[in-house]
Amino acid sequence: MAAKELVEILLQVSEKSAKIARAWRCQEELFELMVEEKAEKEKNERFVRDFKTLADVLVQEVVKHDVSLKFPELRDHILGEESNIFKNSFGQEIRIEVREDSESTSRHLTTVLCGNEIAARLLAELIHTDIVLETEEIKVMEEQLDFELPLNELGIWIDPIDSTSEYLKNSPGKEVDGIVVSGLPCATVLIGVFHLETGVPVAGVINQPFSTLIQENTTSRRWNGRRLWGVNHAGHACYSLGNKRKSNKASTDTQISSTFKVTISGSESENVKETLMSSGIRLFPSSGAGNKLLHVIDDNVDFYVLSSAFSFKWDTCAAHAILCSMGGGVVGYKEALLLKSTTKEIDKISFDKCELKYNKPDDGIAKKWSNSSGLIAFKSHQRVFELLECFGS
């Protein structure tokens, strides 16, 4: 199967997911599902108590449905964070599904949403919308993705809405030195493809539904999204980064800084932070694994460092594939430090053995499907070797 066909359907379902995410924020009937109390402090009876689960499951099932429809052989190898069993506000456990047409899906979602027919219809219409990619986007894929992928050997990881907490807050985004650290731009749709036998990442699509806020007039504004992809397989490495988000901070740098920038989790250990800062490294605590990985892809930072098992396969697979297509990668934090401490001189071949894998859990350590040894995401092998020197022997 041509690589273009797979990437195209993944971009389409990611955009459908992004449209659902934007609609949920912007359309009143859907927005009410996210708000427990109305402005006048009256209890909102339409509030969905576990909105995060509902949003994640719905988007996840949309991706599964559309990809399986196009490629039935992938149906049993599409994995995600959530079960598709959802308990609604009436306490009913319902298996969320995408039905054969908009009307059937609307009836099904009406039950999920405890009788809210308007919201169910709006969602069903979005779910069954045909997505047409931009002409230039198609042209880039036709030029670069003229090779085959072994569809029967591939699996998919989905993170439907990464950084849901920032998505719920509805903040336009906070920047520190031009780097987005919180707010709606941190929310991403992540779809990663991996090889079932080897576990290596093969392709990735990231959709940033809230990439750029457009102020249309004094009272109206809307969000534009961004789509990017990368493929790395059998000697083929290609990618497209879409329209990068413009920073509010104008750059005055005339050359590449010699000081590393590292994005980290807000809960990163004090020991790791002190080690990095003592080497003159600038730290940027940020929300969302997808957002942090996107900062590495976009060269906003040099690395994403996470020393603990607080990320999962669905968080990293998509960006990992894109980074590999750009000559970088994502390695286990503990494995990389162990290699550094036991090897006189690290080379790319030995370092690549530390790359994260996606086909099986990490030896039952920590939570299932977590990246149990942490991670370091990077674009340059030379620079990541320099980073490891900061950790001593």
Per-residue pLDDT tens digits for 225-247: 999 999 999 999 999 999 876 55
The pLDDT of residue 286 is above 50: yes
Query: Cα separation of 133 and 269, whole Å?
Result: 42
Told to judge if 56 belongs to the known catalytic residues of this protein, a careful annotator would answer yes
Higher pLDDT, 14 or 119: 14
Residue 393, pLDDT score:
58
The pLDDT of residue 136 is above 70: yes
Confidence of residue 365 (pLDDT cuts 50, 70, 90): low
| CATH of the domain spanning 261-390 | 3.40.190.80
Percentage, residues of the chain above pLDDT 70:
90
Residue 25, pLDDT score:
79
Candidate list 15, 81, 166, 302, residue with the active-site label: 81
Candidate list 20, 96, 127, 161, residue with the active-site label: 161
Told to judge if 110 belongs to the known catalytic residues of this protein, a careful annotator would answer no
Contacts of 134-139 with C-beta under 8 Å, sequence gap 24+, read 137/11, 137/227, 137/240, 138/8
Query: Cα separation of 193 and 148, whole Å?
Result: 14
Confidence of residue 27 (pLDDT cuts 50, 70, 90): confident
Beta strands in the chain (DSSP E): 78-80, 85-87, 93-95, 154-162, 174-176, 179-182, 188-195, 201-215, 221-233, 236-240, 261-264, 282-285, 303-306, 329-331, 375-378
Q: Which 3 state secondary structure label does DSSP give 320? A: helix
pTM (two decimals): 0.92
Candidate list 8, 15, 29, 56, residue with the active-site label: 56
When the pLDDT of each residue in the chain is averaged and rounded to a whole number, the result is 88
Told to judge if 8 belongs to the known catalytic residues of this protein, a careful annotator would answer no
Report whether 352 belongs to an annotated binding site: no
Candidate list 164, 188, 263, 316, residue with the active-site label: 164
Higher pLDDT, 365 or 45: 365
Domain spans of the chain?
261-390
Residue 47, pLDDT score:
45
The pLDDT of residue 315 is above 70: yes
Instruction: Please state the rounded mean pLDDT for residues 241-269.
Output: 71
Instruction: Please state the rounded mean pLDDT for residues 210-237.
Output: 89
Told to judge if 146 belongs to the known catalytic residues of this protein, a careful annotator would answer no
Told to judge if 315 belongs to the known catalytic residues of this protein, a careful annotator would answer yes
Q: With contact defined as beta carbons under 8 Å apart, do 374 and 332 qualify?
A: yes
Candidate list 15, 61, 159, 355, residue with the active-site label: 159
Which tens digit of pLDDT belongs to each residue from 150-203? 999 999 999 998 988 888 787 888 999 989 999 999 999 999 999 999 999 999
Q: Which 3 state secondary structure label does DSSP give 15? A: helix
Instruction: Please state the rounded mean pLDDT for residues 38-65.
Output: 66
Told to judge if 162 belongs to the known catalytic residues of this protein, a careful annotator would answer yes
Report whether 159 belongs to an annotated binding site: yes
The pLDDT of residue 37 is above 50: no
The pLDDT of residue 275 is above 50: yes
Which tens digit of pLDDT belongs to each residue from 75-119? 999 998 777 888 877 888 899 999 999 999 999 999 988 898 998
Q: How are beta strands 188-195 and 201-215 bridged, if at all?
A: antiparallel
Confidence of residue 41 (pLDDT cuts 50, 70, 90): very low
Report whether 362 belongs to an annotated binding site: no
Report whether 81 belongs to an annotated binding site: yes
Confidence of residue 52 (pLDDT cuts 50, 70, 90): low
Residue 359, pLDDT score:
96
Instruction: Please state the rounded mean pLDDT for residues 309-314.
Output: 95
Percentage, residues of the chain above pLDDT 90:
69
Report whether 162 belongs to an annotated binding site: yes
Told to judge if 161 belongs to the known catalytic residues of this protein, a careful annotator would answer yes
